[in-house]
Amino acid sequence: MTNPDLRTRRRRLGAFVGGLAATALAVTMALPAAAAGSTLQAAAGESGRYFGTAIAASRLSDSTYSTIANREFNMITAENEMKMDATEPSQGQFSYTQGDRIVNWARQNGKQVRGHALAWHSQQPGWMQNMSGTALRNAMLNHVTQVATYYRGKIHSWDVVNEAFADGSSGARRDSNLQRTGNDWIEAAFRAARAADPNAKLCYNDYNTDNWSHAKTQAVYNMVRDFKSRGVPIDCVGFQAHFNSGNPVPSNYHTTLSNFAALGVDVQITELDIEGSGSSQAQQYQGIVQACLAVARCTGITVWGVRDTDSWRASGTPLLFDGSGNKKAAYTSVLNALNAGGTTNPNPTPTPGPTTPPPTGGGSCTATYSEGEKWGDRFNGVVTIRANSAINSWRSTVTVRSPQKIIATWSGTPSWDSSGNVMTMVPNGSGALAAGQTVSFGFTVQHNGNWTWPSVTCSAS
């Protein structure tokens, strides 16, 4: 049955401006009878899409900034506050204060959050930059597990891996300490993220992947196609979309988005900014929006900052609001393009209302390791979980050092990451504990010559 409040209209999107796809598209779409959205989020919502921005926690106290951000956008990305250096400044010591400022602001204002970014060669904390091999692989996986677990239930999409391919014509992976841990580091990160937060969409995110004929675009496409064929848990591809005169919006942008979507993933424009001004800039923005709207699985657009002066490249005036918070020509062209409509996203994610309560619980727990029995080839370990305040449940990770293997467990339900070195244990049945209460689980490690104690963590909900 057709909703009587919706009317189906047939529209013809003209040739994309600014040299974008010259083909005219005929699309069938359903739009609310009440017409145009007067904000970016309302206009994008007409076709089931979101419109987002990057937010810097330090700017939220600027009322011009937060007023625009709250009015116009319904998807929020932390510009820097959830990166590896921010969330794990010392190994095993996690810091969520700045990330929480942004997540809490977003949720209090009924907005979704894109998580950025779990694993990246850049913005690594100092301790990680100096690591390599198995130790780095395990540290990366533990980081992914811990951060995704901490934010579980609060993230619409995670940039699980960021910028892992080289620029230029090689089509190769970028050389980095993470890449040198083995070519499977990307899929290992995705598997760890899925285990930690099964409901978040998991994205690969990169730049210079806009032009379909570029080697880097093809390389990422081939990786995603391979992941889909082998069941690696990937749900989306993020196109950063940082453009300027040296890296203009390509004429085949729509082809790129549509070919990736055809692999069975959502595509998202994740960090859009276009240097320039006036009608030239406005036309390029319009073209990007039209390209997204022409692809049903292009589910949303995020610009990389609010005002030009908030941008990481402020001198290029690449955003939709000027330094005083006035709407630019680019803003109007984006709003109009959104209101002109296009395909409808078949699976829009509902935006949480401002009154949505945060996940229950919220207490914290501590995991303590103690030695158990020892034999020639194996030893037992016991982990005691203590609730520091009342909790509804807990999860604990146990990381063993290769070539150790966990060969038996008790008093919990285990799962493993792809390396087999990180075990995540959850309670059998309810994990509710009163403040101060403890519970234990155990396991047997075949040590294969390595007697190092496992490291353990706990997170509570």
Task: Find the DSSP H helices in 109-214.
Answer: 126-129, 133-150, 185-196
Contact 294, 287 (CB under 8 A): no
Distance CA 259, CA 239 (A): 13
Instruction: State in angstroms the smallest separation of the CB of 123 from ligand G3I.
Output: 5
Q: Is 95 in the site for ligand G3I (CB under 6 A)?
A: no
Q: Is 413 in the site for ligand G3I (CB under 6 A)?
A: no
Q: Is 80 in the site for ligand G3I (CB under 6 A)?
A: yes
Instruction: State in angstroms the smallest separation of the CB of 120 from ligand G3I.
Output: 8
Give Cα 420 distance to the centre of its chain: 24
Count CB atoms within 10 A of the CB of residue 84: 24
The residue from 122, 245, 370, 413 that contacts ligand G3I (CB under 6 A) is 122
Instruction: State in angstroms the smallest separation of the CB of 83 from ligand G3I.
Output: 7
Pick between residue 147 and residue 365 the one whose CB is nearest to ligand G3I.
147
Q: Is 206 in the site for ligand G3I (CB under 6 A)?
A: no
Q: How many residues bind ligand G3I, per CB under 6 A?
A: 8
Pick between residue 303 and residue 340 the one whose CB is nearest to ligand G3I.
303
Which residue out of 88, 271, 275, 373 is catalytically annotated?
271
Q: Is 271 in the site for ligand G3I (CB under 6 A)?
A: yes
Pick between residue 202 and residue 293 the one whose CB is nearest to ligand G3I.
202
Pick between residue 74 and residue 80 the one whose CB is nearest to ligand G3I.
80
Distance CA 398, CA 367 (A): 10
26-33 long-range contacts, CB within 8 A, separation 24+: 27/294, 27/342, 27/343, 29/341, 29/342, 29/343, 29/344, 30/2, 30/3, 30/6, 30/344, 31/6, 31/7, 31/341, 32/5, 32/6, 33/5, 33/6, 33/7
User: Is 271 a residue of the active site?
Assistant: yes
The Cα-based distances of 100 to 67, 115, 333, 358, 429 in angstroms read 19, 11, 33, 12, 29
Instruction: State in angstroms the smallest separation of the CB of 201 from ligand G3I.
Output: 18
Distance CA 229, CA 232 (A): 8
Pick between residue 123 and residue 179 the one whose CB is nearest to ligand G3I.
123
Q: Which positions from 223 through 262 interact with ligand G3I, judged by CB under 6 A? A: 240
The residue from 91, 95, 123, 411 that contacts ligand G3I (CB under 6 A) is 123
Residues that bind ligand G3I (CB under 6 A): 79-80, 122-123, 207, 240, 271, 312
User: Catalytic positions, please?
Assistant: 271
